[in-house]
Amino acid sequence: MFPTLSKDMVERRYADAKLVYAALGVDTDAALAQLKKTPISLHCWQGDDVGGFEVHEDAVAGGGIMATGNYPGAARTADQLRTDAEKAFSLIPGTLRFNLHAIYAETDGQVVDRDQLEPKHFANWMAWAKKLGICLDFNPTFFAHPLANDGYTLSHADTETRKFWVRHDIACRRIAEAMGRSQGSACVVNHWIPDGAKDQPVDRWAPRKRLVESLDEIFAANIDGTYCKDAVECKLFGIGSEDYVVGSHEFYMCYAMTHEPMICLDMGHFHPTETIHDKISSVLTFQDELLLHVSRGIRWDSDHVVILNDDIRCLFQQIVRGNALSCTNIALDFFDASINRIGAWVVGTRATQKGILAALLEPTAQLIEFENAGNGAGKLALLEECKTLPLGAVWDMFCLDSGAPAGTAWINDMLDYDNVVAKR
């Protein structure tokens, strides 16, 4: 059994940590208050390996992504997924949102094709979110469908196919608008279009022109921007689209610069050694807002469970140093079907929040002072010392304050939950 930390112990360690940080000019109370109001959007798809609950008539291919592993206990119904998500929420501090994909519609056993989806198919999700006091985000689903099997959707050469997907996306924006109204604030809709080719398409131009055409039709739909906020997500390559992805980084940077939607940067969607932290100040110098897909790429996979590594630390340093937390929408995007799924959610979310907290606890003013004075060794020394400051004591206080387990105690709950889901 992992120990439950006593309130007294957490408070004592926090009081000490507060003094350590204060000596460097850092206000830990202010950092905690900021972290508390920074929402993290949990992705529903970690709970069932990106399966969804759609009733299919035909066989479908994955479409650029794939969850690997067969750890028992994946949610098989929307009710199970909601129960699992609530379990994860209980182990995570702070403000949370929940991010749905169109394939998580509840259609009562009926076949409802994607261009026919309506807000009513998400009524249970909306009622559930309201009950928990959380907001929802949304995504159209351009994969795992017979009309996506050949690798093209919104950029398809066949007009009928392309139109089907345009109708699907507009239907999704209407659903998001309804979610936004129901929660009284914007629902963020991320548009990820996996279209691409496995090997050397001769024509790399026409699909891009068609994708622009489709996106223009989609964003021309009359939808209230107060309640539906759009983002477009690029990718370098996917499974089956190793050579060419229509919606590349350059494509969407240019699209976002000249159109409404914001850019979504997924940490796993660039060259294997390319990180996104240096992109933040460039994008937000020109754009008002940004969506993050917090993830961890490993070799060919873009979606390993997030851990508190340098990529996460550097990312949030950039956002906090630029005072850009309020214009950054933070969503998670990873899925691992080989481990306890509640564990995956909780590890990834807590790691993300720790990364934000670490950045909020940085003595930035002192670092800038060194930098401006040309004192490179002073800057480097302070950055190094910061790595071993008592972040954990402040983090535990955040958990205590939020009513979530501090320290390692949550691991007991996660392991116990295996027994709850074992019979599925």
Binding site for ligand RNT (CB under 6 A): 45, 50, 65, 101, 139, 192, 233, 235, 238, 266, 293, 302, 333
Q: Which does 85 bind (CB under 5 to 8 A by kind): Zn ion, ligand RNT, none?
A: none
Give CA angle at 292 (287, 296), nearest 5°.
145
DSSP 139: E
Residue 224: CB atoms within 10 A of its CB come to 11
Give CA angle at 182 (325, 260), nearest 5°.
50
If the CB atoms of residues 240 and 343 are measured against ligand RNT, the closer one turns out to be 240
For the question of residue 233 being annotated catalytic, the response is yes
Q: Which does 50 bind (CB under 5 to 8 A by kind): Zn ion, ligand RNT, none?
A: ligand RNT
x-or-dash pattern for Zn ion, window 262-281, by CB under 5 A? ----x---------------
Catalytic site residue from 84, 195, 266, 396: 266
Copy the structure tokens of residue 84.
Answer: 């699992």
If the CB atoms of residues 332 and 347 are measured against Zn ion, the closer one turns out to be 332
Closest to 386 in 3D by CA, of 283, 321, 328, 313: 313
Q: How many residues does the chain have?
A: 424
| Residue bearing tokens 């970690």 | 46
Q: Which does 302 bind (CB under 5 to 8 A by kind): Zn ion, ligand RNT, none?
A: ligand RNT
If the CB atoms of residues 43 and 145 are measured against Zn ion, the closer one turns out to be 43
**With b meaning 16 or more CB within 10 Å and e meaning fewer, what string describes 322-338?**
eebbeebbbbbbbbbbe
Element (H, E) at 99: strand 96-101
Q: Is 303 in the site for Zn ion (CB under 5 A)?
A: no
Catalytic site residue from 115, 217, 242, 301: 301
CB of 92 to ligand RNT, least distance (A): 20
Please provide residue 101's backbone torsions phi and psi, each rounded to the nearest 5 degrees.
-110, 160
For the question of residue 56 being annotated catalytic, the response is no
CB of 101 to ligand RNT, least distance (A): 6
Residues 321-380 that bind Zn ion (CB under 5 A): 333
Q: Which does 139 bind (CB under 5 to 8 A by kind): ligand RNT, Zn ion, none?
A: ligand RNT
For the question of residue 177 being annotated catalytic, the response is no
Under a CB-based contact definition with an 8 Å cutoff, are residues 175 and 118 in contact?
yes
Largest CA distance in the chain: 68
Copy the structure tokens of residue 346.
Answer: 């909780």
If the CB atoms of residues 191 and 313 are measured against ligand RNT, the closer one turns out to be 191
Q: Which does 65 bind (CB under 5 to 8 A by kind): Zn ion, ligand RNT, none?
A: ligand RNT
Catalytic site residue from 137, 195, 303, 311: 303
Among 293, 304, 350, 379, binds Zn ion (CB under 5 A): 293
Helices (H), 184-223: 206-220
For the question of residue 301 being annotated catalytic, the response is yes
| Residue bearing tokens 């940590």 | 17
CB of 343 to Zn ion, least distance (A): 21
Of 5-13, 94-102, 146-154, 292-300, which part binds Zn ion (CB under 5 A)?
292-300
Catalytic site residue from 121, 168, 269, 277: 269
Q: Which residues contact 386 (CB under 8 A, 6 or more apart)?
A: 361, 362, 363
Q: Which does 370 bind (CB under 5 to 8 A by kind): ligand RNT, Zn ion, none?
A: none
For the question of residue 243 being annotated catalytic, the response is no
If the CB atoms of residues 156 and 235 are measured against ligand RNT, the closer one turns out to be 235
| Residue bearing tokens 């991010």 | 99
For the question of residue 16 being annotated catalytic, the response is no
Element (H, E) at 331: strand 328-332
Cα distance between residue 232 and residue 370, in whole Å: 38
CB of 187 to ligand RNT, least distance (A): 15
For the question of residue 371 being annotated catalytic, the response is no
For the question of residue 235 being annotated catalytic, the response is yes
DSSP 389: S
Q: Which residues participate in catalysis according to the annotation?
A: 192, 233, 235, 266, 269, 293, 301, 303, 333
